[in-house]
Amino acid sequence: MKRIKCSQILVMSALLAMSACRDVNKKAIISETAGTYIKTPMESTLQPTNFDTIIDGKAVKLFWLENKDLKMAITNYGGRIVAILTPNKDGNYVDVSIGYSNIKDYLESAESYFGATVGRVGNRIAKGKFSLDGTEYSVVPNNNENALHGGENGFQDKVWEAEQPDTKTLILRYTSPDMEEGFPGNLTVKVTYSLTDTRAVRMEYEATTDKPTVVNLTNHTYFNLNGEGSGSILNHSLQLNADQFTPVDQELIPTGELKDVLGTPFDFNKAHAIGEYIEQEDQQLAYGGGYDHNFVLNGTKSYGMNHAATVIGDKSGIVMDVYTQEPGVQFYCGNFMASENTLKSGAKDDYRTAFCLETQHYPDSPNQPDFPSITLRPGEVYHTVSEYKFSIK
């Protein structure tokens, strides 16, 4: 169980009273792209009052973004996506991301990363150690002996400053102080979440530093394109535009090798069900308990970015395309989900009922000289864009 700060404990009793549901407007919205009427959900369990609180002296809120095709809920606690609502093949909105209906569950959850903005360094750093310009740094280990997603109290535990300039955009800011979790430099971070007219959730990351440091930001939304609580994702169709992946050891730390996917269960260049080869005897699948690996994108381009992946919900017909300026994507298929948490739909987070596609530089990059660098220096601007684009098959 994650540690609860004193300020968090003080608001628990007040939050218990804020659990009533309410109906949303049952209006119809015309989709110009699909040419059909799209029905809103019959009711919503996501009330802003269930997120209104103070943590570490900072106000926590729930923000709704909306355009003609998409709705998205985000909280500035952890900069996390709480819900993404997109039409299915029948024209009904489906919540394709998993999460909780109130801030209390996020604070007490055994799973820290649902929907979160993670950093400073997404994914793993071996032994929590790396050297930069001759100085060795130690990040707080939180995944056996390794550092995962920024250490014990990464960006998912921070309250971000939030600004909503319009109904389609949320700007989040956080300044990570020098040596927070062991990382050097005061890092100023800005993340802009927006809904585009092409039915995409756009994530734009920016950062600057006053000392040399390392940065690898990403979003950790767990998806089920049939809808939260709808069961296994193993029958989802997946295509990954990657000719190689980065093999790992038993601690899920990359070996430094780039291995061809051809002839292995990791070949998703032609779309097939996520679960088609997942039970094959394969050392890499055994290490990850299934897929939990970084895929090396092969440069297939769309919209000026790498077209990383296409996923299709087998029941909903919802298609999600992933575009990114990053060189890699971590594909994780819920191997460690263990029915420990109750989601906003009332369902449990059962084994392999969600997947992640985390756009990123490669894991353990600071210790792998042949991997693309994640070093950021004073005077430079870290800037990268990724999108989750939705359509209907």
* Catalytic option among 149, 180, 220, 326: 220
Note the pLDDT tens digit of each residue in 51-69: 999 999 999 999 999 999 9
The structure tokens 């051809």 sit at 262
Q: Which two tokens stand for residue 167?
A: 């109904």
Q: Determine contact, residues 120/215, Cβ cutoff 8 Å.
A: yes
Looking from the CA of 166 toward its CB, the CA atoms found within 13 Å total 6
Note the pLDDT of residue 13. 39
Convert the pLDDT of each residue in 327-352 to its tens digit.
999 999 999 999 999 999 999 999 99
How far is C-alpha 250 from the geometric centre of its chain's CA atoms?
Answer: 23
pLDDT of 232 strictly over 50: yes
What are the helix and strand counts (H, E) for the chain?
Answer: 4, 31
Note if 220 is an active site residue.
Answer: yes
Strands 318-324 vs 305-312: parallel, antiparallel or unpaired: antiparallel
Per-residue DSSP letter, 234: T
**Which band of pLDDT confidence, cut at 50, 70 and 90, is reported for residue 112?**
confident
- Tell me the CA distances in angstroms from 46 to 101, 116, 329, one per residue in order: 5, 17, 30
Contact 7, 57 (CB under 8 A): yes
- Mind listing the domains of the chain with CATH numbers? 20-216 (2.70.98.10), 220-372 (2.70.98.10)
Average confidence (pLDDT) over 40-54: 76
Q: What is the structure's pLDDT at 44?
A: 63
Please give the DSSP secondary-structure letter assigned to residue 299.
Answer: -
Based on the residue annotation, tell me whether 358 is a catalytic residue of this protein: yes
Tokens of 170: 């949320």
Distance CA 222, CA 333 (A): 9
- Of all helices (H) and strands (E), which one includes residue 66? strand 62-66
From 152, 180, 181, 358, the catalytic residue: 358
User: Taking a C-beta distance cutoff of 8 angstroms, is the pair 65, 74 a contact?
Assistant: yes
At residue 110, the pLDDT reads: 82
CA gap 22, 17 in Å, rounded: 14
Q: Kindly state the average pLDDT of the residues 214-218.
A: 98
Pull the structure tokens for residue 10: 């003080």
* Mean pLDDT within 67-93: 96
**Average pLDDT, rounded, for the chain:** 90
- The residue written with tokens 């029941």 in the block is 315
Which residues are 220's β-sheet partners?
116
Distance CA 95, CA 266 (A): 28
Mean pLDDT of 313-335: 98
Which percentage of the chain shows pLDDT scores above 70? Answer: 89
- Could you give the CA distance from residue 173 to residue 385 in angstroms, rounded to a whole number? 16
Alpha helices in 255-360 (DSSP H): 283-288
Number of other residues whose CB lies within 10 A of the CB of residue 367: 17
Q: Rounded CA gap, 137 and 147, in Å?
A: 12
* CA triple 105-106-111, angle to 5 deg: 105
Q: What is the mean pLDDT of residues 234-248?
A: 98
Cis peptide upstream of residue 352 (ω within 30 degrees of 0): no
pLDDT at 111: 86
